[in-house]
Amino acid sequence: KERPRLVDALPGDDVSPDPSDPSVKVVVRVRPGNEQKRADEGAVRKISPDSLVVGGRSFTFHSILGPESTQEDVFKTVGIPSVNYSLAGFNTSILSYGQTGTGKTYTMWGPAGAMVDGSSVNGEQGVAPRLFRMLFSEIHRKQESSEEKQINFQCRCSFLEIYNGQINDLLDPTQRNLQIRGDARNGSHVENLTDEYVTTVEDVTQLLVKGLANRKVGATSMNSKSSRSHIIFTCIVESWCKLSASKCFSSSKTSKIILADLAGADDGILDATGKQCVRERRHIKKSLSKLGKLVNILGDAEHPPEDHKVAYMGSCLTHLLQETLGGNAKVAVICAISPDGGSRGGTLSTLRFGDRAKQIQNKAVVNEI
């Protein structure tokens, strides 16, 4: 039987990497509409599973998930490949991008209550909790099914937010304004960021719930609880095999899973007292503009590598997404959009970002030691 490709594999399949898989896959998720209008009056005309038309302009992406798509559909499209790549030793990353209120947070994490198993809204679980459930069940399956060798895994996680240009630790809110150390060549890290070892999916869920509760949120006209910071969850998965007879190491792999949920650059973010958050909006806009610049540079083969370096150093966000964009990782970018006519401008800007991201060529390799 032919081995399935990593992107199509289901849990339990014996998979092998396929060099023809795109290293940066761009997926559009259209949220259900708020406006009670006929579909053809909205901003988005979906014409096929991989293309849509907005404002007379046609866009093609690797996959379009329409308003009827479920959380499970999103997981199958971006989550399962990510787990498979990670277990095969590749760095993987999922990035959610879009206007406020388009479903970035819903898609990536889902409602907080849905993270807990057995909850009535469990079907609404986002990509992240599903991804870690599959990751740990695959780890346990591999450990149990391997007779001739002993497979060991070690996972550790961190969770940070970039708020007003500062890096804060979401797992320890007393750790604020953290600094990035190192450089692109030798690898950079965030100094003093909490790193928690996890052994079960429940451990990861606890970290996700804790971190998300510490994220800065505010209100906008579109959304009563809108994200005011960019957040990045990282899980490092290390695995090593010992041949049981000799107890000699036979191979060792390490991979990083990076999940980034970005704030939208929208007008009118309000704080708890209803005041405009001018400073936050300025910071979000600035960082997204630097990110857009980086994506444009990386997606254009004419730009020399020196330009890449300068663009990465432009902001904390671009610095921390070095592996995700243009680096050593298999990546899925989720462009979240609303089908409503009133959001057309923001929708077009998100789709243009996705269109540029599609051109980026990452160099993803297995991290074998």
Binding site for ligand ADP (CB under 6 A): 31-32, 98, 100-106, 223, 226-227, 264, 336
* Distance from C-alpha of 58 to C-alpha of 327, rounded to nearest angstrom: 29
Return the closest-CA partner of residue 295 out of 284, 282, 307, 283.
307
100 is in an annotated binding site: yes
Q: Which is nearer to ligand ADP, 25 or 31 (CB)?
A: 31
Strands 187-190 and 51-54 come out as unpaired
Q: Which is nearer to ligand ADP, 22 or 67 (CB)?
A: 67
SS3 category, 199: coil
To ligand ADP, the closest distance from the beta carbon of 110 in angstroms equals 8
274 is in an annotated binding site: no
To ligand ADP, the closest distance from the beta carbon of 107 in angstroms equals 7
The closest residue (CB) to ligand ADP is: 103
102 is in an annotated binding site: yes
User: Which residues, including other chains, have CB under 8 Å from residue 259's CB and lie 6 or more apart?
Assistant: 93, 94, 108, 127, 128, 131, 232, 233, 234
42 is in an annotated binding site: no
* Distance from C-alpha of 336 to C-alpha of 351, rounded to nearest angstrom: 9
To ligand ADP, the closest distance from the beta carbon of 290 in angstroms equals 20
To ligand ADP, the closest distance from the beta carbon of 10 in angstroms equals 23
179 is in an annotated binding site: no
To ligand ADP, the closest distance from the beta carbon of 264 in angstroms equals 6
Q: Is the dihedral of CA 242, 247, 250, 256 positive or negative?
A: positive
Residue 74: both structure tokens together? 């999103």
Q: What single letter denotes the amino acid at residue 213?
A: A
Q: Which is nearer to ligand ADP, 314 or 341 (CB)?
A: 341
Cα dihedral: 145, 135, 327, 89 (round 10): -10
Q: Which is nearer to ligand ADP, 280 or 323 (CB)?
A: 280
To ligand ADP, the closest distance from the beta carbon of 12 in angstroms equals 28
Q: Which is nearer to ligand ADP, 90 or 109 (CB)?
A: 109
Q: Which is nearer to ligand ADP, 107 or 322 (CB)?
A: 107
105 is in an annotated binding site: yes
SS3 category, 331: strand
104 is in an annotated binding site: yes
C-alpha distances (whole Å) from 94 to each of 148, 191, 276 are: 34, 23, 30
Q: What single letter denotes the amino acid at residue 345?
A: G
**Under a CB-based contact definition with an 8 Å cutoff, are residues 161 and 210 in contact?**
no
**Under a CB-based contact definition with an 8 Å cutoff, are residues 258 and 93 in contact?**
yes
Q: Which is nearer to ligand ADP, 188 or 349 (CB)?
A: 349
* Distance from C-alpha of 140 to C-alpha of 106, rounded to nearest angstrom: 28
To ligand ADP, the closest distance from the beta carbon of 104 in angstroms equals 4
Q: Which is nearer to ligand ADP, 17 or 103 (CB)?
A: 103
* Distance from C-alpha of 39 to C-alpha of 327, rounded to nearest angstrom: 39
Query: Which stretches within 77-200 are classed as H helix?
Result: 80-87, 104-108, 127-145
154 is in an annotated binding site: no
Residue 141: both structure tokens together? 């399956």
To ligand ADP, the closest distance from the beta carbon of 240 in angstroms equals 38
Q: What single letter denotes the amino acid at residue 63?
A: S
| Binding-site residues | 98-105
| Binding-site residues for ATP | 98-105
